[in-house]
Each structure stands twice: as structure tokens, then as C-alpha cells.
Amino acid sequence: MAAGVDHLLSLQYADGYWWGPLASNVCMEAEYVLLCHCLDCRNRDREQQIQRYLFSQQRADGTWAIYPGGPGDLNATVEAYQALKLIGVPETDPRMARARDFILANGGVDATRVFTRLWLALVGQYPWSKLPVVPPEIMFLPKWFPLNIYDFASWARATVVPISILMSRRPVFPLPDGAGIPELYLPAGQAAPPPKGGEHRLFLALDRALHWYQNLSVHPGRAAAEQKALAWILEHQAGDGSWGGIQPPWFYALLALKVLGKTDHPVYQKGVAGLESYGVNTPDGGWWFQASVSPVWDTALAVLALRAAGLPPDHPALVRAGLWLCDRQVFVPGDWQVRRPQLEPGGWAFEFDNVHYPDIDDTAMVLLALNSLQLPDEMRRRRALTAGFRWLVGMQSRNGGWGAYDVDNTRELVNRIPFCDFGEVIDPPSEDVTGHVLECFGSFGYDDAWSVVRRGIDYLKRAQQPDGSWFGRWGVNYIYGIGAVVPGLAAVGMDVTEPWIQRALDWLEAHQNEDGGWGEDCRSYDDARYAGRGESTPSQTGWALLALVAGGRAGSESARRGVAYLLHTQRTDGGWDEVHYTGTGFPRDFYIGYHMYRNVFPVLALGRWRAAIRQDEG
């Protein structure tokens, strides 16, 4: 425990925050290469670093996966191949040949997702006419009308707006001679039809109508629609130069601004300048691009872990962290107010500076952290807690749960749009976020006598899987869901001996590995046989222990074996190693390796386990 605490303290930045790199997949680097080509800001040295990194991530069969140990992914492999050809790697390179064989065996370019084909269209390697259409006229739809931009999740909304401009203008940034990828197409008649995000006849007919409209020589209202989209983009830039604090809308917004001739605009220049801040250098001379950054999330988790491990609430490191978190609180309007116009701001975002998109999960965890601290300015801490608490209460959805960024973002209609094949495009309430919110409310002394809490509990009862587990929306997968829900239920005073809660704990014990740890493969989102199954990891073992401790099983043989696993796998410097991704961006499509998870969750779990054992022993 002491070694884990010391290691965590050594990772704190001087300003008081914790921040670990956020790994994803090679589409980030491939699209960075293509973006710099389109923006005419290529850096040959950086491209060599990316080339080195891309090949370091290639599987033996020539493919690229979207998570460590995963199968080859067609989209990632096509994008990496195109980026490497642009950098200058010849198609005769054996590594390229192996990738090409996989691509052709799996349908070629025509079988890739819309995002991949969109990037290829931008560089003249795919016809714009074959892509589903999202016209900028979508900006005219009122907020109450189906398919308006606020029916999309925040991340999809920030992506769709700039893409609508690109689809209106259909720009092409030609590649140098020899950098194209004609060899990735199957012969005519053999190509598979492009995958569709929604097969509903109405939407396919709508897409055909939009293509017809796009091909007209005159588009009434098009200029006004583009200006409306432009204004939205200019208004929504984050403080670090990104949009939404994530890669996709950032890249597309810069492309849209370039296409509209805004390269001299301060917003564009800030966006380009900010790209470097998301880059990570590797020890072997490579470079990769983070899909997002997570300092607020990492800091809240680190504070909770250190408090559980026994650090006093006024420890200097925790005071610095608490003050830093107070400085990050968001008190300006955001997109969430479309559904809650009367609610006052007060949440926290995931990133350093993303005031447009505070999120519920971060807010819950920050409130938990601040509620456990003593700061020199106690009035400031209390004001932060009050504002954050009110915002959290106000963001409850009608079904009793909490989503990530918005209230009642549940219109399934947008999932049927042919364009939407790139992951989750709505933000409905989730079990894990709801569990964290209940844990937060419990730290303030609230229980199921309060209707807000009762509605959250009822939502979790309805959402429970038949086998007793809960789905993990933002972490892999059912282990994460249980690890978030059971502590939340216990915190608000639920009787954890009730059968429905005990079933979740039984599920955990039934899925414990022989080495005492827990692990769950990302494949569990696609294949039920992997639910709760996978190589043990420190973070997933921590989640399981958090649930067992909260559920009254700290003294069980299962919990003791889990503790032994963490102690046995701890490095001499107090940290842990974790190869597998345990974070989820979009189930089935996008996974995340949080580098801080391997260090915070074991310490948090061990601290709570020790406290529970001491309490049991009197």
C-alpha cells in the first residue's frame, strides 16, 4: 500500500493534477498524417516518427487492431496503409503486402466504414458520390424536430456539423504521384457493397433524395446553412484548440475551416497549434496521437485512491489537487442547456479546458473527491460542491438514469441514418455513470428516501442483466458495470444482501481467474462468451474488489485472492503493468488504454478492502 501511494504521489504534476496518456488505435496517427497533407502542414520528421510507431503496432499477419490482442481491423488497416504510402513506404514492402492481402480478402476499400471512406475521398481515393450525405441544411432543423443536431450525442454532434460542410463542398486534396491506393480495390463486380449504419428503407430513400439534391446546380439556402454551421464551429472551440476535447471533430473542424477559406482566422490557427499538445513520444523514437486527454478524470480518481489508502484530507498533495479541481469547474453555458435551459452550470469536463462539454461522470467523481478533502478555503470548496451537486441532480434523465453529457439523449432515429456507422451516436443513460452518481449522492448522506436516488435505483434494477451483471458503457465491460453499480447502491444505503445485488457478486466470483485476478476482453461487446473472461488486469481486478467490498464480501476467499493478485503483480516501484485496454469509448468500435487506471484502481481497491477488514475485525 505504501509503495502504491508513493508511486501515485510521484506521478502528480506540480500544478496539482494527475494525467496519464490515453491510448487508442492507429487511426489517430493515420488520420493525423492525412490531415497534415490536407492542411499543407506536413512535417517529414514527424512522419518518420509516425511510420516507426505504425509499424511497431502492426500485427504479424500485416493488420492493425483497435486494441491490444484484438483481431485485425479493416478500417484501421486501410487507414494505416494509406498513411504509410503517403509517407513514402512503397507497396512492395513486405509489411504493406501482408496488409494489402488482408484488406482485399475482407472486401477492400468498399467494405470500410464511412469515416474511412470519407478520409479517402478527401485525398481523391474514393468518390464523394458514393458516401452517404449529411447536408449543412441540417443546421436549419429546430431543436424539437427529429434528426436535429441536438438529437446526436455531443461527440457525434461536434463531428457532424463540420462534416456537413465537407460533404457540401466535396474537396479533394490530391496525393503525390504513387501515393494512391488503387491496389486496395477489388475488381468490378467483386466489391462488397459499402456497410450501412442504418438499413431502414425510409432512410435509404432519404439518402438517395439528398444525393439528388446535392447534384443539383442550385441549392437554395445552402450558403446560409454553411454560414450557420461555420458560426457553430467558431463558437464551440475548446480552450486547448480542439473541439469537444476529442480527435474526430477537431480534425473535421479544421478541414471545414480550410475549405471555407478561414485559414487566417484565429480559431483555425489555434486549432492547428493545439495539435502538438495531444502527441506522445515513445522511447524508441515513435510518436502517437491521443484521441483525448483525461486530467480531470485522472485527478479525481487519484484523490479517491489516496484518501482510501489513508492519506489525510489536508495532505499537501491532496490540497493542491483539490484547488486545481476547483479551478476547473465550468460556470459557462454549454450544449447541455438545450435540454435543461433553466439549470445553472456547475459541472466538470474530462479535459483541461473544455467548457462547452462538462460531463456527468467526471462531475460525480470530482464531487466525491472534493467531498473527502479539507482545503484552506473551505467556503470555496463548499461553493464548488453545492454548484456541482445541483447540476448533477438537474441532469437526471426521465428514466431515472444519467447519461454522459446530455439529458434524455435517447432518440434511436439517428442510429438509422446511413452515415452513422462509426460508433455510438446517442448518449442514453448508462449503468456505470448512474452508479457513480449514486455513490456521489451517498457521500453527501442521501439515501433511497430521496426520490432522485430512488429513481436511479429503479433504473439500475431495470437495467440489470438476467445473469446479475450490469453492462459497462465506459469501461470493459460487465466487470466495470458491476464495479460502478454495487458501490453506488451501497453508498445510498441499499441492503446489499438483497438477492438482486448478491447475484452481481456471485457473477463476479464465478468469473474470477485462477491467478486470483479478474479480466475481461474487449471482445465481450461482440461475443457473449467473453463476458467476464480475459487475462487478469490490475484495473479490472480493482473494479471487482470494489464491488465485493461494497457488497459485504471483503472477507471472502474471492476478495483475498484478488488482493493477493494485486500484491503479487505490483512492481517494485509501487506501480502495475497493464497491456490490455480496459476503457471503452464506443462499444465494439473504439477502446481506450488509460495509463492511470493501472495505478489508481488497485490502490483504491486495496485501501477500501483494508478499511473494511479492519472494521470487520473491530
Catalytic residues: 361
In sequence order, what are the beta bridge partners of 593?
Answer: 23
Phi, psi torsion values for 475, nearest 5 degrees = -150, 155
- Nearest residue to 325 (alpha-carbon basis) of 14, 15, 9: 15
Q: Give the separation between CA 547 and CA 542, rounded to whole angstroms.
A: 9
How many angstroms separate the CA atoms of 312 and 570, rounded?
24
In the sheet with 583-586, reading across from the earlier edge strand, the strands are 22-23, 590-594, 583-586
Q: List phi, psi (to 5°) of 185.
A: -100, 140
Question: Cα torsion at 47, 48, 53, 54 (round to 10°)?
Answer: 70
DSSP 326: H
539: exposed, middle or buried (C-beta count within 10 Å: 0-12, 13-18, 19+)? buried
Alpha carbon distance 579, 595 (integer Å):
9
Backbone angles phi, psi at 508, to 5 degrees: -60, -50
**Cα 459 to the center of its chain, rounded Å:** 23
The SS3 assignment for 266 reads helix
* DSSP-derived secondary structure for 375-417: -S-HHHHHHHHHHHHHHHHHT--TTS-B-SSSSSB--GGGGGS
**Measuring CA to CA, how many Å separate 189 from each of 186, 525, 530?**
8, 33, 37
**Alpha carbon distance 185, 187 (integer Å):** 6
Question: Quick check: helix, strand or coil at residue 287?
Answer: strand
Q: What are phi and psi of 402, to 5 degrees?
A: -125, 135
Instruction: Please tell me the distance from the alpha carbon of residue 16 to that of residue 290, in angstroms, as a whole number.
Output: 22
- Whether the Cβ atoms of residue 347 and residue 330 lie closer than 8 Å to each other: yes
d(C-alpha 59, C-alpha 385), whole Å: 47
Decide: helix, strand or coil at residue 368: helix
DSSP 285: S
* Contact in structure between 192 and 198 (CB atoms under 8 Å): no
The Cα 297–Cα 352 span in angstroms is 10
